[in-house]
Amino acid sequence: MNDENIVFPREKAFYFFTSPGNYTGVSASSLKEFDDKAKEVNSKSLEFHLNRGDFEKWLSEVVKDNELAAEFRRLQKLNLSGDSLRIQMHLILSKRVKHSNYEQRVLPKFPNFPAIQPEER
């Protein structure tokens, strides 16, 4: 089974908030679902969690992927927001998750947006 297909129990799922106490009603119980939900959830939620280090913590502690967590730590330093952040998150997650047609649907709308390349190890 691929890592993206591992389904975590509800208490280990990622719950998207826009601020403390403001739950969006969206959660993800697998890495694939996390990427899928991140494509749709309010971008304010993505900004909120990235700035707090929540994504990095979940990826490290629950998903057990320290390399992916480090990519999100680097992403945090770029101060992206909105669709720019959403696209970069997807590009990072796409290293681990197989997708259907998200690239064809969304990325062509941003042809001049430079993709951040992951650091080589």
Q: Domain containing 92: what range? A: 3-109
pLDDT digits (tens, 9 = 90+) for 35-71: 999 999 999 999 999 999 999 999 999 999 999 999 9
Is residue 116 one of the residues assigned to a domain?
A: no
pTM of the model: 0.77
Is residue 115 one of the residues assigned to a domain?
A: no
Is residue 70 one of the residues assigned to a domain?
A: yes
Q: 104: which residues sit within 8 A by CB, 6+ positions away?
A: none
DSSP symbols for the chain: --GGGPPPPGGGSEEEEEETTEEEEEEESSHHHHHHHHTTS-HHHHHHHHHHTHHHHHHHHTS--HHHHHHHHHHHTTT--HHHHHHHHHHHHTTT---SSHHHHHGGG-TTPPPPPPPP-
Is residue 121 one of the residues assigned to a domain?
A: no
Query: What is the rounded average pLDDT of the residues 80-85?
Result: 95
Q: How many domains does the chain have?
A: 1
Would you call 23 helix, strand, or coil by DSSP? strand
Is residue 120 one of the residues assigned to a domain?
A: no
Is residue 117 one of the residues assigned to a domain?
A: no
Percent of the chain with pLDDT over 90: 72
| Amino acid identity, position 13 | A
Is residue 16 one of the residues assigned to a domain?
A: yes
What pLDDT sits at residue 80? 95
Is residue 118 one of the residues assigned to a domain?
A: no
